[in-house]
């Protein structure tokens, strides 16, 4: 896919790999990147650096109303990068509760599914595009010390395969 003149949305764009995606997209000539983060102010440094090429966007992928608001605002998107992730460092059996495993599944699997479902019609309306799901080696090989993270990434990998098949036509 040609990045030049494209418009992208990146979840978890305020730091780490997400911030690197924003920088790479701008570096390859993207016209605009929506930098999604739970707190839009945490992505403001990218707006300050790149001006109107970056739009900070409040986006918690676990909140359906925020995903819907992103779709309503970002109608020009041709690339969706599902990067937001949660790794809470709790074991599955040894944790005091299932809260960490639920949050990891909610962000790492359901967040990917929610964004993909919401933005697929936008991509179609704009003549096609790409959905990029950031996965992990933890989703290829079960890592018992990764608690709910590893199963959530396995689920995201399976969802990616299914989504690709559904959108292929």
Catalytic site positions: 149
For residues 113-127, b (16+ Cβ closer than 10 Å) or e, as one string?
bbbbebbbebbeeee
- β-pair type (54-58, 79-82): unpaired
d(CA 167, CA 133): 14
d(CA 116, CA 12): 15
Bridge partners (DSSP) listed for residue 131: 80
């Amino acid at each position: 896919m040609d990045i030049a003149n494209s418009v992208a949305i990146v979840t978890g764009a305020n730091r780490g790999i997400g911030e690197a995606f924003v920088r790479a997209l701008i570096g390859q000539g993207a016209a605009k990147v929506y930098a999604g983060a739970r707190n839009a102010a945490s992505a403001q440094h990218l707006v300050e650096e790149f001006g109107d090429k970056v739009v900070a966007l409040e986006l918690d992928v676990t909140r359906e109303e925020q995903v819907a608001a992103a779709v309503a605002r970002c109608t020009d998107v041709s690339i969706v990068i599902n990067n937001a992730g949660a790794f809470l460092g709790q074991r599955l059996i040894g944790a005091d509760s299932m809260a960490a495993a639920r949050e990891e599944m909610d962000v790492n699997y359901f967040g990917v599914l929610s964004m993909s479902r919401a933005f697929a019609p936008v991509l179609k309306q704009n003549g096609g595009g790409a959905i990029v799901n950031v996965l992990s080696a933890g989703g290829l090989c079960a890592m018992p010390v990764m608690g709910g993270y590893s199963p959530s990434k396995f689920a995201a990998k399976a969802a990616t395969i299914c989504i690709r098949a559904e959108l292929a036509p």
